[in-house]
Amino acid sequence: MKPAPFDYLRPQTVEEAVRLLATTPDAKVLAGGQTLGPMLNLRLAQPAVLVDIGRIAELAAVTDDKDAVMIGATVTHAAIEDGRTPDPTGGFLPQVARGIAYRAVRTRGTIGGSLAHADPAADWLSALTALGAEIAIAGVRSSRRVPLSAFVRGAMETELGADELITGIRIRKLSSRARFGYHKICRKTGEFAEAIGVVVDDPERAYFCAVAGATGGRPLVMETRAAPGSGSVTVEDARQLLKGAHFTGDDYELTLHAAALHRAYQRAYAA
Ligand SMILES: Cc1cc2nc3c(=O)[nH]c(=O)nc-3n(C[C@H](O)[C@H](O)[C@H](O)COP(=O)(O)OP(=O)(O)OC[C@H]3O[C@@H](n4cnc5c(N)ncnc54)[C@H](O)[C@@H]3O)c2cc1C
């Protein structure tokens, strides 16, 4: 199928983009088009106007301050994979990027587009939740920063207004003593996850977070700070952690997610 007819606008600044979004009825942001493109072709989305943010230089910028790095919304998965952007995590972000889809998708798909779409199985959603990332949002009236955990309301549902734009993702720097583990279970390389486990432990910052992703809703943050500093979180321990975090899947799904979480712990604390 081909898309329904639409108009196409290409603003040069964030200010112009949010003004267009606020004043143009039925407008939709276009970033890498890796999700929106197929949705247009299948006519699952039929916006009257596409606002292409791909030429806005400030959205492709990465700023590095003392404590954190702000990654612009249109930075691609491939740029992160290749280490072409400063990495506040000492290798965690490129590792996650490498597991997203296929190289062709990664060269176009953007970190901001992935978070705006908020597919529960998306890799950035889980990984950046575990890092405690914040989303920078611009609108015509004001700009704000929202923790990712609060930004996502549910499956493909976010805090973003129709006239708002994600401008960047702020990630605090991990120390050199930080440990992280990421494990994605999917049928074959390049596919969306069936289960994701993430562990981030930074003793220097007294920061620990374990997350289960691809659970069908927002990423589940484990309530228990389970045995940080050791790799001895068994699959059974992981099952209990998931139950404690009110995991609602059936027994097969619980086993799958427990395996992903267990392996994330193993990777985080491997010698
Ligand atoms: C074959 C295939 C396999 C894939 N596998 C994976 C996978 O394994 N893991 C994974 O995580 N993802 C996967 N994806 C999704 C991919 O990562 C996309 O890049 C991503 O979901 C959307 O990013 P985009 O830049 O292409 O956004 P677009 O498709 O352009 O936009 C997606 C949505 O976000 C909105 N949007 C985009 N940018 C902004 C912004 N800055 N502010 C506000 N709204 C915005 C758009 O209006 C639209 O609603 C896959 C995609 C394909 C086609």
Ligand 1 surroundings by CB, under 6 angstroms: 28-36, 53, 73, 100-101, 105, 108-110, 112-114, 116-117, 122-124, 160, 165-166, 191-192
Quote the CATH superfamily of domain 179-268.
CO dehydrogenase flavoprotein, C-terminal domain (3.30.390.50)
Cα(222) to ligand 1 centroid in Å equals 26
Cα(176) to ligand 1 centroid in Å equals 31
Per-residue b/e over 46-83, b at no fewer than 16 CB within 10 Å?
Answer: ebebbbebeebebbbbbeeeeebbbbbbbbbbbbbbee
Q: Which of 14, 106, 114, 146 gets mutated to test ligand 1 (max ligand atoms within 8 A of its CB)?
A: 114
- What per-residue confidence (pLDDT) applies to 1? 72
- What per-residue confidence (pLDDT) applies to 271? 72
How far is 88 from 26, CA to CA, in rounded Å? 37
Going by C-alpha positions, the residue among 179, 178, 144, 183 that lies closest to residue 161 is 144
Query: Taking CA 105 as the corner, what is the angle to CA 103 and CA 253, rounded to the nearest 5 degrees?
Result: 95
Residue minimizing CA distance to atom 28 of ligand 1: 33
Is residue 61 scored above 60 in pLDDT?
A: yes
Q: Which of 30, 93, 105 gets mutated to test ligand 1 (max ligand atoms within 8 A of its CB)?
A: 105
- pLDDT tens digits for 130-183? 999 999 999 998 999 999 999 999 999 999 999 999 999 999 999 999 999 999
Please report which confidence band the pLDDT of residue 225 belongs to, taking 50, 70 and 90 as the band edges: low
Question: Same CATH fold, 57-172 and 7-52?
Answer: no
Cα(268) to ligand 1 centroid in Å equals 28
How far is 20 from 91, CA to CA, in rounded Å? 37
- How would you classify the pairing of strands 220-221 and 207-213? antiparallel
Q: What is the mean pLDDT of residues 25-39?
A: 97
Residue minimizing CA distance to atom 53 of ligand 1: 34
The listed CATH number (3.40.50.10240, 3.40.630.30, 3.10.450.50, 3.30.43.10) that belongs to domain 7-52: 3.30.43.10
Is residue 264 scored above 60 in pLDDT?
A: yes
How far is 83 from 22, CA to CA, in rounded Å? 35
Residue minimizing CA distance to atom 11 of ligand 1: 122
Cα(242) to ligand 1 centroid in Å equals 28
Please report which confidence band the pLDDT of residue 223 belongs to, taking 50, 70 and 90 as the band edges: confident
How far is 206 from 222, CA to CA, in rounded Å? 16
Cα(34) to ligand 1 centroid in Å equals 5
Q: Give the residue extent of every domain in the chain.
A: 7-52, 57-172, 179-268
Cα(114) to ligand 1 centroid in Å equals 4
Is residue 230 scored above 60 in pLDDT?
A: no
Cα(40) to ligand 1 centroid in Å equals 13
CATH number of 57-172: 3.30.465.10
Cα maximum dimension of the chain: 56
